[in-house]
Structure 1
Amino acid sequence: MNSSPAVTGERSPAGAASRFLQYTHLDKMYGYLPGMHAAQPAIFGLDPAEYQALREGFAAAARAGAQQLLTDTEAAARVDRWSAAGPSTVLVAGDSLTDDLQSWVEILRAALDLRSSGHTVQLVNHGLSAHTTAMIARSWPATLTVTKPDVVVCALGGNDVTRVGPDPRKTQVSPAESLANLAELRRIAQTLVSPHWIWVTPAPVDEVRAGAFPAFRFGQSSWANSDVQQLSEGIHALGGPVVDLTTVLGVPAAPELVGEDGVHPTLAGQIEIARAVLGPLAQDPGR
């Protein structure tokens, strides 16, 4: 999934650069290229100060989301239990819903920092916008070797169920192949580093909003909640803890929890995802 909704699901005064920056992080894919980090402001048409200010704005939104999450006493207690369990590295594999600079991962990172500045949980956000399960697989062994995670949260599949073109006849990746890819990602991880594994299903959408969104209309990309639900059911059958976003966000996604493009969650939606993922993280943080 890849589009350009603004910081909280509403139009941002920072314009297109802000909306692209929210989901596009070239250093994750091309960080090995000399000078990539320094070149990013110019790539987005920004000077370094503007670039930094926008990133700080997204970080502030994630902190605000964390503060809202922590007003829930049970959520705060779960953050404390997770933090108190001791050192762990949590690798999150996902798409643009994870890659988002104010995603549920960044909200949980901020919540940990707010509750315990000396915590020893390392969160690695390996969300890659527009990536399918097949695309993630190519770099998966290297990612695991570098990060050596104690816990993997796998939040992939939203791009697999994307349909493309006029009168689309199939999803980008078939349900059977998606499930085979997901099972293989877990098998590789278990072989290399043996982490605790948590699934997060694809997120339901607002089909009407998605169908009307200009970027998706231009790219002829569409989503059907029936495809999302079919893949989600298959993920449950793979076994292990599952955070089902069809339950968290509703089907179709509740209007206040999904942005103007009908696909990417608002900050409120990301907070609800963070709240749900906290359950299995606090229950068994990989120790």
Structure 2
Amino acid sequence: MTSTATTPDPAERMLRFHQPEKVLRHLGPTPDEAALAALFGLDTAGYRARLDRFTARNRAAAAALAATPGAAAQPAALPFRPGEHVVAVGESSTADRLSWFEILRHLLPEHVRCTNLAVSGSTTTQALANVPMLAFQRPDWVLCMLGANDVQRLDGVPLVAAAETRRALRTLRDLTVRRTGARWVWLTPTGIDPDRVVRYVHFRRAGIGWSGADLDAVAELLLAEPEVTVDTRAAAHGHLEDDGVHLTPSGQQRVAAAVLDALRLAAARPHDAPAPPDPRP
């Protein structure tokens, strides 16, 4: 999915959703900020100032969640422990620099490491091709939010067939867990505002769109898996950008709260506890 944040700053709008260093591997593990800034038409100072603003907003959102009475955001209520590595896999809903995951990183216990591997526009098939890179991270936990781009339709035709989405998601999990032993958590795609999607001029020009029924089908697939699954749809409802697809910052904060609630429940489930019966045929 592409960026449609409502900020009047075009560079900040692009910077919010896109991290070129994730796909331009030749830039190296620690690419030069001046080179990255130039990709957005910015100098280094302007690039850094915008990143700092994103970080400040995420810290504020995390603080607000932590201050909620009875919040599950307290570090002791979460299943992560010092020294563990938490990795996010996803598309623009997670790649967003104001995403639920970027809020979450400010709520974890000290010395828990976070890596956001989400790439805007990613399909499940593309994510599956990146299993070697994911496994190289040696995650203790993987939080996976994928499937929304699979059901994007081009002139009415979905990018990825439903059977392939199912296969790719399960294979992504199975290969990663087999290689790393990581604990896996699913997040469903959020819903959409169909009226906004239809009206959004850039989608109309490109001949692309989304169906709420398609997204619900992916959500129900994930909710039937044996791992913890966070249903993000209710949290996101009414908190979408003008395109009717992407979450507003307030929507991201609400999704972060839903993730925290689910992780609190996961904390009470021992790692070696038997998984629920597999409902798959």
**Mapped partners of 2:129, 2:80: distance in 1:** 34
Which residue, out of 121, 125, 139, partners 1:130? 121
Unaligned regions of 5+ residues in structure 1, if any? Answer: 7-11
Q: Report Cα offsets for 1:210-246 as digits up to 9, x if no partner.
A: 2212222222221110101111111122321111122
Matches within 5 A, 1:85-234: 85-112=81-108, 119-145=110-136, 147-165=137-155, 168=156, 170-234=157-221
Q: Which residue of 2 aligns with 1:42?
A: 38
Identity of aligned residues (%): 33
SS at match of 1:154: strand
Q: Which residue of 1 aligns with 2:77?
A: 81
Instruction: Assess, with a 3 A threshold, how the Cα gap between structure 1 residues 269 and 79 changes in structure 2: closer, same or farther.
Output: farther
Which residue, out of 1, 13, 18, partners 1:19? 13
Structure 2 contact 79–263 (Cα < 8 Å) conserved: no
**Mapped partners of 2:265, 2:115: distance in 1:** 19
Unaligned regions of 5+ residues in structure 2, if any? Answer: 272-281
Measure how far apart 1:96 and its partner are: 0.3
Instruction: Assess, with a 3 A threshold, how the Cα gap between structure 1 residues 38 and 48 changes in structure 2: closer, same or farther.
Output: closer
Instruction: Assess, with a 3 A threshold, how the Cα gap between structure 1 residues 86 and 40 changes in structure 2: closer, same or farther.
Output: closer
SS at match of 1:87: coil
**Mapped partners of 2:120, 2:27: distance in 1:** 19
Structure 2 contact 84–140 (Cα < 8 Å) conserved: yes
**Mapped partners of 2:100, 2:167: distance in 1:** 26
| Letter of the 1:4 counterpart | T
Instruction: Assess, with a 3 A threshold, how the Cα gap between structure 1 residues 104 and 193 changes in structure 2: closer, same or farther.
Output: same
Which residue, out of 234, 249, 258, partners 1:267? 249
| Letter of the 1:218 counterpart | R
Q: Report Cα offsets for 1:58-93 as digits up to 9, x if no partner.
A: 112212211221221333554333277332111110
Structure 1 contact 17–45 (Cα < 8 Å) conserved: yes
Query: What TM-score do you get using the length of structure 1 for normalisation?
Result: 0.87
**Mapped partners of 2:53, 2:35: distance in 1:** 20
RMSD (Å) for aligned C-alpha atoms: 1.9
Q: Report Cα offsets for 1:218-275 as digits up to 9, x if no partner.
A: 22221110101111111122321111122333xxx32xx1111111111111111111
Structure 2 contact 72–264 (Cα < 8 Å) conserved: no
Identify the structure with the greater helix proportion. 1
